[in-house]
């Protein structure tokens, strides 16, 4: 990847650290009793939320979405309504397809039983993970001034710390926005070199990559497209050559880049596993691409 690199994905994960944080003077100094009381309170709230979810009726689980409009990302990276460039009949067909996918998801969804012991353990593990995330993703000068990282991991911060974290997140947001715009500007210059069938179909964000295999001279990707925005579940890279393949189980297609290299096309794919902070690449070359 030249644009959507591991550094880009890292910075993306640092754009919203401040979003759930709430200011409290009690976070200004270390206080073990405050931390223990806060932990118990947050655990209680978490368990109550999970209990309410488990007690939902089937009718409550999946209400049909109120689709006033459907939006997609344009070439500038802005969200625009599909009604601006699609006929009304096409918008209705898209709407119906999305609703049908929701209904199918509802039919296959099984609600888990409420298990307080299991959920309490999950909350503890999540709390530990959040502490490590903050340690690894906040600048040292901010971390040095945090009175208790455990409290910060429970989304409570002093006014000064939250202000500094928010500023840091905004800086990362500007960096990632620039990368996105740079790629769109690059792609505008080269898209005429790319066949229309690729431009029309190469949209696999959030699809799970089930396998990457060599079939004759081709490289074949099998996809689970249920979480994506495409009906395609197989990509066939003709006369394909794998340059780099870091596919792991439960990996999802996040970003892609396309380059013209002599008579071939080079495809860069950014993938993420179930752990959203793990990010790696698949890179390959091919003479053409077909879709099924």
Where are the domains positioned within the chain?
Answer: 6-55+114-174, 195-291
pLDDT number for residue 78? 65
pLDDT number for residue 59? 46
124 Cβ contact list (under 8 Å, min separation 6): none
- Report how far residue 150's alpha carbon sits from residue 117's, in angstroms, rounded to the nearest whole number: 22
* Lowest-confidence region among 37-51, 88-102, 179-193, 229-243: 88-102
- Give residue 82's pLDDT band: very low, low, confident or very high (50, 70, 90): confident
Q: Is the pLDDT of residue 279 over 80?
A: yes
pLDDT number for residue 91? 77
- Average pLDDT value for the chain: 89
Ramachandran category for residue 68: left, alpha or beta (phi over 0 → left; psi -120 to 50 → alpha): alpha
Q: Is the pLDDT of residue 236 over 80?
A: yes
- In percent, how much of the chain has pLDDT > 90? 74
- Report how far residue 279's alpha carbon sits from residue 273's, in angstroms, rounded to the nearest whole number: 7
Q: Is the pLDDT of residue 63 over 80?
A: no
- Give residue 57's pLDDT band: very low, low, confident or very high (50, 70, 90): low
pLDDT number for residue 193? 94
Output the pTM of the full model. Answer: 0.77
- Summarize pLDDT for 84-133 with one digit per residue, the tens: 777 888 778 877 877 777 777 666 666 678 999 999 999 999 999 999 99
Q: Is the pLDDT of residue 156 over 60?
A: yes
- Give residue 254's pLDDT band: very low, low, confident or very high (50, 70, 90): very high
Q: Is the pLDDT of residue 68 over 60?
A: no
pLDDT number for residue 227? 86
Give strand pairing partners of 283. Answer: 244, 268
Using only the alpha carbons of the chain, give its radius of gyration. 23
Residue 291 near residue 274 (C-beta atoms within 8 A): no
pLDDT number for residue 158? 98
pLDDT number for residue 72? 66
pLDDT number for residue 111? 67
- Interval 3-9 mean pLDDT: 96
């Amino acid at each position: 990847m030249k644009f959507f690199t591991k550094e880009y994905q890292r910075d993306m994960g640092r754009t919203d650290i401040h979003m759930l944080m709430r200011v409290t003077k009690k976070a200004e100094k270390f206080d073990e009793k405050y931390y223990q009381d806060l932990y118990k309170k947050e655990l209680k709230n978490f368990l109550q939320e999970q209990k309410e979810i488990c007690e939902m009726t089937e009718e409550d689980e999946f209400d049909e979405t109120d689709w006033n409009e459907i939006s997609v990302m344009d070439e500038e990276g802005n969200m625009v309504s599909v009604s601006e460039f699609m006929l009304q009949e096409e918008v209705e067909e898209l709407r119906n397809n999305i609703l049908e996918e929701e209904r199918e998801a509802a039919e296959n969804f099984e609600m888990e039983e409420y298990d307080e012991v299991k959920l309490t353990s999950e909350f503890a593990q999540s709390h530990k993970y959040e502490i490590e995330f903050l340690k690894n993703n906040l600048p040292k000068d901010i971390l040095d001034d945090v009175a208790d990282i455990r409290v910060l991991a429970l989304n409570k911060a002093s006014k000064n710390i939250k202000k500094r974290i928010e500023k840091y997140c905004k800086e990362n947001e500007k960096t990632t926005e620039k990368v996105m715009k740079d790629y769109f500007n690059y792609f505008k210059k080269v898209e005429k070199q790319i066949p229309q069938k690729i431009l029309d179909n190469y949209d696999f964000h959030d699809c799970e990559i089930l396998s990457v295999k060599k079939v004759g001279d081709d490289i074949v990707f099998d996809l689970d497209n249920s979480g994506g925005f495409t009906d395609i579940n197989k990509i066939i890279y003709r006369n394909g050559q794998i340059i780099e393949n870091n596919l792991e189980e439960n990996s999802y297609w996040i970003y892609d880049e396309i380059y013209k290299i002599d008579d071939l096309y080079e495809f860069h794919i950014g993938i993420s596993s179930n752990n959203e902070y793990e990010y790696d690449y698949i890179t390959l070359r091919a003479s053409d691409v077909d879709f099924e």
